[in-house]
Amino acid sequence: MDIPPKEMVDYIADYLENIRDRRVYPGVQPGYLHKLLPKEAPNAPEKWDDIFKDVDEHIMPGLVHWQSPHMHAYFPALTSYPSIMGDMLSSALNVLCFTWASSPAGTELETIAMNWLGKLLGLPDCFLNEKNDSPGGGVIQTTASEATLVSLLAARTRALMELAQLNPDLQSSELLGHLICYCSDQAHSSVEKAGLIGGAQLEEAIISDKAKGLVPFWVCATLGTTGSVAFDNLREIGEVCSRHAAWLHVDAAYAGSAFVCPEYRHWLDGVELADSFAFNPSKWLMVNFDCTAMWVRDSTALHRTFNVNPIYLRHENSGKAIDYMHWQIPLSRRFRALKLWFVLRNYGVSGIQKHIREGVRLAQKFEALVLADQRFEIPQPRNLGMVAFRLRGDNALTERLLKKLNARGYIHAVPACFKGVYVIRFTVTSQRTTNQDILDDWNEIKTVASEILIDVFG
Ligand code: PLP
């Protein structure tokens, strides 16, 4: 038996320690890998040396290096040694945590880690699960999109049950046609996928929709939008939802990590009015993908929606312990609590807070550099670790700038558009980013901008 080399651990450590030497954005074209690899799997077993050679020569040059200090695209997708170690152990154990009986420690560690994390964010007690009969609790979902869909489906079940009581003669297919849900116009595309886009004037929209015979049942508030890290007013939205008995889901995919620092918790004001809250430790909290932390006020709403009860999944402690299969869409689930627990323990609260504050400080530094150059502007205020900036003038200038920056591969960023205004999103992603990296990146941007401006205006 060819036992895989322990050198993989060294390979991973070397990769991460030397990440700044790599070009962050690859210079490959679609189909490049098809030309380099065989069309079929090998018949005979291959040696690790040969497999690694292909990783080095063919795979690595075709990757975006997300852990690079020059990665500024999207939002962070950070990893860390405790998280990698948690995932390595979890992969080796490969326990499936769908019921308590299928993995007692896997299930209980998830509840404990989610209670720790909920307290770390300052979430109210109604979202924690510290006693066996607590209705609330936390669960790790795969993605924020999935958490949104889970909350939407749970809210729909709740609304249909209430409607069915009032209208016993109607079929659920008829009742479904009356349901309507809302989110702000800067919500993430995953929310559009999960439901319908609603108006910003929530209460007006709800009242007018009710007058048309519709039943508002679910509202998604966003804390930290994808384009500009803008925040919905949770308290205002929560009060409207309470008045109209609509389920309030809070999507804080990126910004949620910042709530480990008390100075950012003002955006959480009103969270006690929410029915569910989710954010991605897999973004900024250094717990590698996948890991979406989701809390619900009343897990029975999830049970009613996702309950599966075949005899082979029942166990003698059914009902006495959490069976997370009832809290999610798939049946099977990985032991993801391990990497979250390792990160919380190995960094500690102070280490995690320090990491978040450093990300914000570096974004402030970048913002100051941009503001000091009259050729550039920042149309929307910076929040947390993301600065959305542009060259003054036509969108075409900024579009050219971004295209050229990415083609050079030294830094990587993606655009956003606010009401027709094209911007480059510059997110501080890596825990390896230093003051010097920010200065170097800004020099790269200035150099390319000068070339473009000279080319256009002479
Ligand atoms: N919601 C918001 C506000 C986001 O910014 C993102 C991604 O950046 C998502 C949802 C989607 O996250 P996921 O990829 O975990 O589904």
> What type of residue sits at position 98?
F
Q: How many other β-carbons are positioned within 10 Å of the β-carbon of residue 275? A: 25
- Percentage of residues in the chain with pLDDT exceeding 90? 81
Residue 87 CA, ligand 1 centroid: distance in Å? 22
Residue 385 CA, ligand 1 centroid: distance in Å? 16
- Containing H/E element for 138? strand 137-141
Residue 188 CA, ligand 1 centroid: distance in Å? 6
- Please give the pLDDT value at position 196: 31
**Tokens 């210079």 -> residue:** 27
> Which residue of 146, 189, 190 sits with most ligand 1 atoms within 8 Å of its CB, as the best mutation to test the pocket?
190
- Please give the pLDDT value at position 193: 40
The residue ranking higher by pLDDT, 249 or 202, is: 249
Q: Which atom of ligand 1 is nearest to the CA of 223?
A: 3
Residue 257 CA, ligand 1 centroid: distance in Å? 13
Please say whether the beta carbons of 387 and 370 come within 8 A.
yes
Please say whether the beta carbons of 442 and 413 come within 8 A.
no
- Please give the pLDDT value at position 124: 97
* Shortest-distance Cα residue to atom 8 of ligand 1: 226
At 2, the pLDDT band (50, 70, 90 cuts) reads: low
Domains annotated on the chain, with CATH: 96-334 (3.40.640.10)
pLDDT at 92 over 60: yes
Q: Is the peptide bond before 209 cis (omega within 30 degrees of 0)?
A: no
Residue 324 tokens read as 């997370």
- Please give the pLDDT value at position 195: 38
> Which residue of 226, 294, 386 sits with most ligand 1 atoms within 8 Å of its CB, as the best mutation to test the pocket?
226
Can you tell me whether residue 82 is helix, strand or coil? helix
Residue 169 CA, ligand 1 centroid: distance in Å? 40
Q: Which atom of ligand 1 is nearest to the CA of 226?
A: 5
Residue 37 CA, ligand 1 centroid: distance in Å? 33
> For residues 220, 223, 226 and 230, what is the CA-based torsion angle, rounded to 10 degrees?
120
Q: Which atom of ligand 1 is nearest to the CA of 142?
A: 15
DSSP annotation string for 176-235: HTTEEEEE-TTS-HHHHHHS----SSHHHHHHHHHHTT-EEEEEEEEBS-TTT--B--HH
Residues paired with residue 216 on neighbouring β-strands, in sequence order: 180
Tell me the C-alpha distance between 83 and 76, whole Å: 15
Instruction: For 175-195, write each residue's pLDDT tens digit.
Output: 888 899 987 765 655 554 443
Q: Which atom of ligand 1 is nearest to the CA of 254?
A: 5
Residues with CB under 6 A from ligand 1: 75, 143-145, 188, 190, 222, 225-226, 251, 253-254, 280, 292
- Please give the pLDDT value at position 187: 61
Residue 146 CA, ligand 1 centroid: distance in Å? 10
Averaged pLDDT of the chain: 92
Residue 187 CA, ligand 1 centroid: distance in Å? 9
Instruction: For 292-330, write each residue's pLDDT tens digit.
Output: 999 999 999 998 898 877 787 888 888 888 999 999 999
Burial of 21: CB neighbours in 10 Å, binned 0-12, 13-18, 19+:
exposed
Can you tell me whether residue 376 is helix, strand or coil? strand
- Please give the pLDDT value at position 169: 84
